[in-house]
């Protein structure tokens, strides 16, 4: 599984390695969202000193996976619907702009490479009818390439270095395996086309719509679940 993003260099120090381990544990929910983190306990579990663990915790805080209060301690960030929607709003802003910049700054080779990638995705999608692989790897790959294509270090660092892990966390914990793979694929195609045409304005608009569509899709899903629960409750009351 390709979980590491190309922006962060390989982990050399033990704090780095433990950071990655805990990161995965949090993303996958093995350390539950919202739970308190005990420094002595985690240090013992990973066989490291508390100083080293704290170094790892600092990096976790940097990518918004945990929150710290002075003299109180750390908690795994609490997943919530509001948090998810806020994250999407932020992505819409940042990735939209990244897409505009990509249309301006990507080299012709990069564009060709991305178009080739999309063709591979198309075939895989046809084969598997686009459920798991596409969303998990293909989608992330696509967004990655666009962001890196912006050639803007600030944007790259913010999205790939920080927000990326939070996004993955929500994907894991809310079980978001794309029900809109084929539509997303079309949207990706059009975005690349706009980038290839060097039409930054259109590229940004399309990317924003693409992400906004995802967000609305989730909002609807949530709304459905609520109505479903209410109906269940009504049935329970009636019975």
Partner DNA sequence: TTAAGTGTTATTGTCGACAATTTAGTGTCA
Partner DNA sequence: TGACACTAAATTGTCGACAATAACACTTAA
- Residues at the interface with DNA (CB under 7 A): 12-16, 36-40, 48-52, 54-55, 68, 70-74
DSSP annotation string for 8-35: SPPP-SHHHHHHHHHHHHHHTTSS-TT-
Let me know: does 195 contact 103? Beta carbons within 8 Å: yes
Let me know: does 199 contact 109? Beta carbons within 8 Å: no
Question: Closest approach of Cβ 154 to a copy of itself, in Å?
Answer: 4
| Residue closer to a copy of itself, measured from CB, 51 or 107 | 51
Question: Closest approach of Cβ 175 to DNA, in Å?
Answer: 30
| Residue closer to a copy of itself, measured from CB, 100 or 121 | 100
- Strands across the sheet with 73-76, in order? 36-37, 73-76, 66-69
For tokens 């998810």, the residue is 84
d(CA 231, CA 99): 42
CA nearest to 58, candidates 66, 50, 49, 48 = 66
Question: Closest approach of Cβ 126 to a copy of itself, in Å?
Answer: 35
Query: Residue 157 binds what, of DNA, a copy of itself, none (CB under 5 to 8 Å, by partner type)?
Result: a copy of itself
Query: Residue 4 binds what, of a copy of itself, DNA, none (CB under 5 to 8 Å, by partner type)?
Result: none
Question: Which residues contact a copy of itself by CB under 8 A?
Answer: 9, 12-13, 16, 51, 54-55, 58, 61-62, 64, 70-71, 83, 86-87, 89-90, 92-94, 96-97, 101, 152-155, 157-158
């Amino acid at each position: 599984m390709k979980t590491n993003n190309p922006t962060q260099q390989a982990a050399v120090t033990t704090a780095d390695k433990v950071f990655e381990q805990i990161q995965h544990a949090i993303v996958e929910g093995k350390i539950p969202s919202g739970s308190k983190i005990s420094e002595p306990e985690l240090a013992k579990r990973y066989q490291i000193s508390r100083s080293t663990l704290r170094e790892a915790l600092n990096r976790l805080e940097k990518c918004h996976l945990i929150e710290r209060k002075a003299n109180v301690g750390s908690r795994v960030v609490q997943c919530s619907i509001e948090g998810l929607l806020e994250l999407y709003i932020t992505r819409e802003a940042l990735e939209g702009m990244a897409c505009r910049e990509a249309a301006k700054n990507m080299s012709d080779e990069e564009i060709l490479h991305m178009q080739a990638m999309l063709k591979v995705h198309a075939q895989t999608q046809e084969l598997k009818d686009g459920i798991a692989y596409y969303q998990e790897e293909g989608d992330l790959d696509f967004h990655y390439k666009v962001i890196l294509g912006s050639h803007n270090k600030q944007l790259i660092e913010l999205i790939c270095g920080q927000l990326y892990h939070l996004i993955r966390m929500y994907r894991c914990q809310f079980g978001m395996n794309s029900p809109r793979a084929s539509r997303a694929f079309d949207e990706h195609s059009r975005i690349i086309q706009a980038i290839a045409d060097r039409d930054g304005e259109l590229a940004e608009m399309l990317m924003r719509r693409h992400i906004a569509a995802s967000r609305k899709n989730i909002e609807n899903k949530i709304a459905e679940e609520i109505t479903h629960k209410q109906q269940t409750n009504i049935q329970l009351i009636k019975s």
